């Protein structure tokens, strides 16, 4: 734990040596790609990879709270990644609920009704809208003839009205 506090102020303000180290290890092209996709370029040890292709890294010399991070798969552009794409076992590791990385977590109980996580479709063409929502493509307007008046069983349409 003491390694997390090591050089706290130096690492939070001194990014030039960190970027230089990243360029030495990975090259300029990877550095620019990382800056574009993640708005940062960090060096760390690869802890694991999940089934969605996300890579998880850790560097205890980084600032506390920023020493664990995730790199999304290459197809995800800047601003297109969602936090809901992180599996629960890796979420626990990223947020220090568990010290065991996601690939080491044993799934002791997996309910039969558990489904795989679906991507959040809000703002895309596949968003959900209720069938009777006016902006739904399959929305059907009411019948052209209007509405039918409801009459209780056993009464005729004119009976039972209390008109004077």
Q: Where are the domains of the chain?
A: 2-104
CA–CA distances in Å: residue 69 to residues 45, 59, 89, 138, 142: 10, 9, 14, 42, 53
- Per-residue pLDDT at 141: 67
Q: What's the predicted TM-score (pTM) here?
A: 0.58
The answer to whether 33 and 72 are in contact (CB under 8 A) is no
- Burial annotation 53-78 (CB, 10 A radius, 16+ → b, else e): ebebbbbeebbeeebbbbbbeeeeee
- Per-residue pLDDT at 5: 46
| Chunked mean pLDDT (size 10), the chain, 164 residues | 47 67 84 77 86 87 84 70 80 86 69 70 78 74 64 69 51
């Amino acid at each position: 734990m003491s390694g997390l506090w090591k050089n706290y102020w130096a690492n939070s303000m001194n990014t030039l040596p960190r970027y230089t180290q990243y360029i030495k290890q990975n090259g300029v092209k990877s550095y620019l790609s990382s800056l574009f996709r993640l708005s940062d370029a960090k060096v760390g040890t690869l802890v694991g990879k999940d089934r969605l292709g996300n890579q998880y890294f850790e560097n205890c010399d980084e600032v506390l709270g920023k020493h664990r991070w995730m790199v999304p798969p290459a197809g995800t552009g800047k601003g297109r990644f969602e936090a809901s794409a992180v599996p629960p076992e890796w979420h626990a590791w990223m947020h220090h609920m568990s010290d065991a990385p996601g690939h080491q977590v044993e799934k002791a109980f997996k309910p039969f009704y558990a489904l795989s996580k679906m991507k959040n479709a809000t703002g895309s063409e596949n968003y959900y809208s209720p069938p009777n929502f006016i902006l739904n493509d399959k929305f059907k307007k009411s019948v052209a003839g209007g509405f039918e008046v409801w009459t209780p069983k056993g009464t005729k349409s004119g009976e039972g009205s209390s008109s004077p």
